[in-house]
Structure 1
Amino acid sequence: MRLEVQQYLNEQPELRAFIRQHPNWYRKLSRDPSQMTLLEKEANQFYGRTFPQRVEKMQQSLGLIMMMMEMLKVGQTTVAQT
């Protein structure tokens, strides 16, 4: 692997960890170092950092909050009726 690619990966510990989990990237980067942008995109998708993944995570969090609020409302009305 080229020295500049190794240095870049040493500066980006998450990319380095991604490559260790997906060793086929060693071969790809050795043959074509210009695939670093593709590596970053795939790593972002793997770690859940794409925009659709973030939106989905936010929706799940909001759903959980709404469910908790409904449970609190039900608990309060039950206590008030007693």
Structure 2
Amino acid sequence: MMQAAVYDYLKQHPELAHFVRFNPAWYRYLTREPHRIRELEKVSKEFYGKTFSQQIDKVGSHVQMVNMLINFADAMKD
């Protein structure tokens, strides 16, 4: 059974609880080794695309798309 502190932490962070629901191995990990909660946060961030490098890539993709739309609009004027 999961420790009450870990369970409460997951209740306070619904995104982590959602991740655990879709990755049941983490339920087992946290039940046996509750100290792995920080590792869960890191893996969850990677899964949801919230790491710094993933955010930078996302911004870069948006900039590239805007640039393409501007070029398209300029081509339509001519």
Give TM class, smaller chain. over 0.9
Following superposition, the deviation at residue 30 of structure 1 comes to 0.9
Tell me the residue number matched to 1:80. none
Higher relative contact order (CA 8 A, sep 6+): 2
Show structure 2 runs of 5+ residues with no match. Answer: none
Tell me the secondary structure at the aligned position of residue 39 of structure 2: helix
Cα RMSD between the aligned structures? 0.5
TM-score for both structures, normalised by structure 1: 0.91
Aligned length: 77
Tell me the residue number matched to 1:43. 44
Show structure 1 runs of 5+ residues with no match. Answer: 78-82
| Equivalent residue letter for 1:67 | M
Tell me the residue number matched to 2:75. 74
Structure 1 or 2, whichever has the larger Rg, is 1
1:4-61 deviation per Cα after TM superposition (whole angstroms, max 9, x unaligned): 0000001111000000000001111111111000000000000000011111111110
Tell me the residue number matched to 2:3. 2
Instruction: Determine the C-alpha separation between the residues in 2 that align with 1:5 and 1:29.
Output: 8
Instruction: Determine the C-alpha separation between the residues in 2 that align with 1:22 and 1:76.
Output: 51
Instruction: Determine the C-alpha separation between the residues in 2 that align with 1:34 and 1:13.
Output: 19
Percent identity between matched residues is 35
- Aligned pairs (5 A) from 1:55-70: 55-70=56-71
Provide runs of 4+ in structure 1 moved above 2 Å.
none
